[in-house]
Amino acid sequence: MFLIDCGEGTQVSLRRMHIHFQRIKHIFISHLHGDHFYGLIGLISSMHLLGRTKPLHVYGPPELIQIIDLQLQASLTNLLYTLDFHPTQAERAEILFEDETMIISSFPMLHRIPTTGFIFMEKPYERRIRKEMIGQLQIPVHLLPQIKSGADFVADDGTVYPNHMLTSESPSPRSYAFCSDTAYFEDIIPIIKGADLLYHETTFMNNRGVNASEKFHSTTGQAATIAVKAEVKKLIIGHYSARYDDLQPLLDEAKAVFADTELGIDGATFEI
């Protein structure tokens, strides 16, 4: 389970949504503006107070570990678990995490302070075995890993059964890109290309493009343009300025450019 950014009160929100936060193993912090990390120290402390022993991995700007350590020291807290900190940089894209099933990378955003986006990419699935063929051809079990990886099967009588007869297409690997906070920044397009789901901040509506540029934030139109140019499948917008009580106009503006857009709101869940 992964958590991206951790504003003040995140642990309260997690409880309210009945998400057991000890299951979170990796936390990614995009940048050190308070609305993105002021809840981290509280979550780290609560994990400790509730008896966590499993390691926690935190990824974020280098100063973050100083901020955490200073607060743990001030309270004379020795965490019961290992907090494994992985400093990020906002100069170039890099892989932060990799296991058998997925790769998570960071990449630079265009903001007032060093900020990274994150992209979660599944690795390609192995092809699916057609079970009925295995039985029919009496293929030995020890050959199955090779066949899943694309090998043909040669029967005892020398007959070659090509792989496409033995296996079927597996689902496409899925990907999720998180882009907050950032001004309009086309450099991210090749990195997030074709993502199944893109979260992109939309702090302002289109008529506040100057505000957006000055504050290194994006408008609805800019976020949707990134979605179009990166050919993503779906866009979630969010990080709205407090000036907007009604979010429908922001959604309308984004949809005018990229139809498959949804509002990111507290507690919303999106299946990929």
Catalytic annotation present for 35 = yes
- Dihedral angle, C-alpha 104, 110, 113, 116, nearest 10 °: 0
Of residues 68 and 227, the one with the C-beta less far from a copy of itself: 68
Of residues 66 and 82, the one with the C-beta less far from a copy of itself: 66
Of residues 160 and 242, the one with the C-beta less far from a copy of itself: 242
Q: Is the dihedral of CA 229, 231, 232, 235 positive or negative?
A: positive
Residue whose C-alpha is closest to residue 223's, from 251, 265, 194: 251
Q: At 125, list the tokens.
A: 């699935």
Of residues 70 and 272, the one with the C-beta less far from a copy of itself: 70
Q: Is the dihedral of CA 231, 232, 236, 240 positive or negative?
A: negative
Strand blocks (E) in 88-220: 94-98, 102-108, 116-122, 128-129, 153-154, 160-161, 167-168, 175-179, 197-201
Question: Smallest distance from the beta carbon of 122 to a copy of itself, in angstroms?
Answer: 33
d(Cα 81, Cα 59) in Å, to the nearest integer? 16
Element (H, E) at 57: strand 56-60
Of residues 42 and 173, the one with the C-beta less far from a copy of itself: 42
Of residues 38 and 244, the one with the C-beta less far from a copy of itself: 38
3-state secondary structure of 78: coil
Binding site for a copy of itself (CB under 8 A): 8-9, 11-12, 32-34, 38-39, 41-42, 45, 61, 63-64, 66-67, 70-71, 73-76, 112-113
Question: Smallest distance from the beta carbon of 180 to a copy of itself, in angstroms?
Answer: 15
Judging by beta carbons within 10 Å of its beta carbon (0-12, 13-18, 19+), is residue 212 exposed, middle or buried? buried
Question: Smallest distance from the beta carbon of 270 to a copy of itself, in angstroms?
Answer: 25
Question: Smallest distance from the beta carbon of 68 to a copy of itself, in angstroms?
Answer: 10
Q: Is the dihedral of CA 31, 32, 38, 41 positive or negative?
A: positive
Residue whose C-alpha is closest to residue 121's, from 216, 196, 24: 196
Question: Smallest distance from the beta carbon of 41 to a copy of itself, in angstroms?
Answer: 6
Question: Smallest distance from the beta carbon of 95 to a copy of itself, in angstroms?
Answer: 24
Catalytic residue among 5, 35, 245, 252: 35
d(Cα 185, Cα 71) in Å, to the nearest integer? 35
Catalytic residues: 35
